[in-house]
A = this chain, B = another copy of it.
Amino acid sequence: MTTTRRTHQAVRLDWPRLRARLDALGRVGALDGGGVCRLALTPEDKAGRDLVVGWMRDLGLHVTIDAIGNIIGLRPGLEDGAPVMAGSHIDTVRTGGLYDGNLGVLAGLEVVAALNDAGVTTRRPLAVGVFTNEEGARFAPDMMGSLVYVGGLPLAEALAVEGIDGRTVGDALSAIGYAGPAPVGTPAVHAFVELHIEQGPVLEEQGIAIGAVEGVQGISWTDVIVEGTSNHAGTTPMRLRRDAGYVATAAAVVVRDLAARMGGDQVATVGALELTPNLINVVPGRARFTLDLRNTDEARLQAAEQVAFAEIDRLAAAEGCTVTRRTLARFEPVTFDLAMVDRVEAAARARGLSVRRMPSGAGHDAQMMARVCPTGMIFVPSAGGISHNVTEHTDDAHLEAGASVLLDLLVDLAEPVDPAPG
């Protein structure tokens, strides 16, 4: 143990090198005026992939591309077997930033570089994974590459998915030369760690450097259509109205109150709402709104759904309106391996960094990997909680701190072998 601690200290992050890689990748698909657009499997994504694969090869990694386009760079260990893997994605939304996804991949490469610099071998192999189409901005579902990797979606089904431009995943993969020969799901992974920006405001607001992610919230997306009767706003007495807009707005208030009453990490959002005909002097005959409910606890998420749906039905019935509900997405919550959460927390504390346990409100490749191996996530603060936005930002000090925690964790999990005494 003492030996290992000494070895750790010899493996040192080169922050300017990581910063330079973040900037270089950020120039691929850069938007005028800031931000990045590298939608999955576009020429920009290919250019980003080529850059990363080149860096992997420069670092001596053995690179494989699987049939869904996931890129795995492997650093051999003293023993064969399942590697410890760091990973994330490099595709972005249409108005993406420099860190969402990219940070987890490039910090993983920096760990490899640091091990190389220190001449340290690990008992277990170390891998860096780049998963295809995490964002889902061109092809649904999101987290596609990792989902296929863990067997959650058949490969053939994923390849047949049509994107927003009508092209299939399979065609787009072939077009950019990333329909690889490696079987999907190999290698098996010993443990998976993803460093990611929080994409929320909690760490910044609380002045905390590191988030030890306990799991990913379950998500329930519902589209609700309310049908009433359109009428003259001046001549229709209140008691004779069947106001679809009233039902929709009252429902939005009810779900907000529900989330507040439930407390904990329950969130509820009515993000989209449209009235028809949407005129100042006409009682809305139709309203459409979306409901986004999330909770880390499946039972509580189901309870939230039940109460919300019942209240919407009750409001509509009282107004003489009808309701049509359609589920747009439904994922159960994911709980990360407790030992991995402990490790993240301990690694941060060992560096003297402030840390808190927290759920992830957004989806990540790590939640898919958690199905097949112990998985952890490290969050670093997002300025203003802003993400999927060209103004996405995290301070250098926070990026470096997160990468350091990733390094310590990976090295620890991979079990460094002391260099032969000189």
Residues of A whose CB lies within 8 Å of any CB of B are 198-202, 205, 217, 219, 221, 231-238, 240, 243, 245-246, 248-250, 252-253, 256, 259-260, 265-275, 278-284, 290, 292, 294, 328, 360-363, 385-388
Contacts and interface: CB of A to CB of B under 8 A. Distances in A.
A274 B278 CA distance: 9
A272 B272 contact: no
A301 to B, nearest CB: 12
Q: Which of A219, A266, A328, A385 has the most CB of B within 10 A?
A: A385
Nearest to A275: B273
Contacts of A250: 249, 252-253, 256
Dominant secondary structure at the A interface: mixed
A283 B271 contact: yes
A239 to B, nearest CB: 9
A236 B267 contact: yes
21 contacts: A199-B232, A200-B232, A201-B237, A205-B240, A221-B281, A232-B361, A232-B388, A233-B271, A234-B362, A235-B360, A236-B267, A236-B361, A238-B260, A246-B252, A246-B270, A250-B256, A269-B280, A269-B282, A271-B278, A274-B278, A280-B328
A267 B233 contact: yes
Contact of A240 (B256, B385, B386): B385
A259 B238 contact: yes
Contact of A275 (B271, B279, B363): B271
A123 to B, nearest CB: 36
A101 B102 CA distance: 66
Contacts of A217: 234
Given A201-B235, A249-B253, A269-B280, 8 more contacts: A199-B232, A232-B388, A233-B269, A238-B260, A238-B266, A249-B270, A250-B256, A269-B283
Contact of A232 (B243, B290, B387): B387
A385 B250 CA distance: 25
A246 B235 contact: no
Contacts of A221: 280-281
A231 B201 contact: yes
Contacts of A253: 246, 249-250, 253
Nearest to A238: B259
A271 B260 contact: no
A272 B280 contact: yes
Contacts of A294: 233-234
A274 B284 CA distance: 13
Given A232-B388, A388-B232, A237 B271 contact: no
A236 B269 CA distance: 10
Ranked 3 nearest A-B pairs via Cβ: A200-B235, A234-B361, A235-B361
A201 B201 CA distance: 51
A235 B381 CA distance: 12
Q: Which of A201, A232, A279 has the most CB of B within 10 A?
A: A232
A101 to B, nearest CB: 15
A235 B199 contact: yes
A386 B238 contact: no
Contacts of A245: 252, 270-271, 273
Q: Which of A234, A240, A245 has the most CB of B within 10 A?
A: A234
A249 B273 contact: yes
A175 to B, nearest CB: 28
B271 A232 contact: no
A116 to B, nearest CB: 35
B246 A271 contact: no
Contacts of A387: 232, 235
Contacts of A259: 238
Given A271-B245, A275-B272, A232 B280 contact: no
A273 B278 contact: yes
Contacts of A290: 280
A297 to B, nearest CB: 15
